[in-house]
Amino acid sequence: MLIQIKTSIDYYLCIMNVDYIIVGFGLAGLAFAETLAENKKSFIIFEDDSQNSSIVAGGAYNPIVLKRFTPVWDAIDQLEIAIPFYKNIEEKLNTKFIQAIDLCRIFTSVEEQNNWFAACDKPVFAKYMIPEVLENPIKAIDAPFGLGRVTNTGRIDTEILLDTYKTYLEDKIRLEHFDYNLIEFDGEFVCYKDILAKQLVFCEGFGVKKNPFFKEIPLREAKGELITIYAPKLELDFVLKAGVFIMPLEKHHFLVGATFNWKDKTLTPTEDAKDELIAKLKKVLLVDFEVVSQVAGIRPTVLDRRPLLGKHSQYKQLAVLNGLGTRGVMLAPKMAKKLYNFLEHDISLEKEINTERYL
């Protein structure tokens, strides 16, 4: 895309003056907007609903990689920031989207049981991993080697969160396509249409691949699909992890996911993904179930699995908050805070999250 950069702003045409313009309203955009609100900064958001990875996410928060019983990078600190952050929004919006729920991992061998106990001995996991093998409490699932239970975990219903917050914003959000060609620069300011701002922050998810200012960041698009099933004979009061996750919803409905597809860049649900999830479910569930819906989204992932935060090398009024991948619920509040402190207080970003490591 060829961009005609204008460097002289007609201030008389900029009838709205704000501190920040935000492009994109997924978890990253919401977290940054809330961080601005907490710090009494004004902002306007542009959102065209072209990205939906936040809406179709499972929304689980869990500090443990259950495939290998290892810690998620920086997870404990992320959760210490994220949980109060989301609770504050619940109170402010008078709504409920946080669900505290334990997570159980099916063991497939005695070796996995032993690895579980070894991991439980690590101090970092003391608050989360229960050091015992639980006998299978559910006849509807196949777990001959028992389960390991993780506590102090839960889920954020991202759809309720985003929808409620969008309504709350009212005149602070514009539901329209953002046109990069209309950006103008002058001194320390940036102007877009009728808006004059000190800073413009892109929170576009995989949509940033079309952004001429940040298209070079090494973002990888990973398509993920989820299905919702109805299983009237399945009783779960925890999230079950067994090749797929099975998350209880309401009235014997369960969210199941997720797939990874590095080639398909569309948002269209596929039969292949549904068949893959059904096949994995049948290895675990001993009861009948029915698929009632299916959704797909594109996750913005990075090769080193670290977020992407920083300023444009030439246009310092432009910044980016991206690359939250599969753990956006946990990452978004802390990364929004990091970016805010970088932009407002010149507090350096760590190299492992700074876009400078690639650009």
Q: pLDDT higher for 221 or 182? A: 182
Alpha-carbon separation of residue 89 from 37, 156, 168 (angstroms): 11, 12, 11
Per-residue pLDDT band for 2 (boundaries 50, 70, 90) equals very low
The pLDDT value recorded for residue 321 is 97
List residues bridging with 202 in a β-sheet.
23, 320
Strand-pair category, 219-230 with 290-302: antiparallel
Q: Comparing C-alpha atoms, which of 327, 280, 279 is closest to residue 307?
A: 327
Residue 137: the pLDDT is: 81
Fold of the domain spanning 220-302: D-Amino Acid Oxidase; Chain A, domain 2 (3.30.9)
pLDDT in tens, 244-276: 999 999 999 999 998 989 888 888 999 999 999
Which helix (H) or strand (E) segment holds residue 88: the answer is helix 75-93
Residues 155 and 60 sit within 8 Å (Cβ to Cβ): yes
Q: Which CATH number is associated with domain 11-55+159-218+304-357?
A: 3.50.50.60
pLDDT given at position 7: 55
Pairing of strands 43-46, 173-174: parallel
Domain(s) labelled CATH 3.50.50.60 in the chain stretch across 11-55+159-218+304-357
Question: Does 165 have pLDDT greater than 80?
Answer: yes
The token duo for 221 is: 């698009």
pLDDT at 49: 79
Kindly calculate the radius of gyration of the chain based on its CA atoms and give it in whole angstroms.
Answer: 22
C-alpha closest to that of 72 among 344, 352, 331: 331
Residue 1 is predicted with a pLDDT of: 35
Render pLDDT for 89-127 as a digit per residue (tens, 0 to 9). Answer: 999 999 999 999 999 999 999 999 999 999 999 999 999
Kindly report, as residue ranges, where domains of CATH 3.30.9.10 are found in the chain: 220-302
Percent of the chain with pLDDT over 70: 94
pLDDT of residue 170: 86
The rounded distance, in Å, linking the Cα atoms of 116 and 268 is: 38
* The two three-digit tokens of residue 345, written as one number: 């207080």
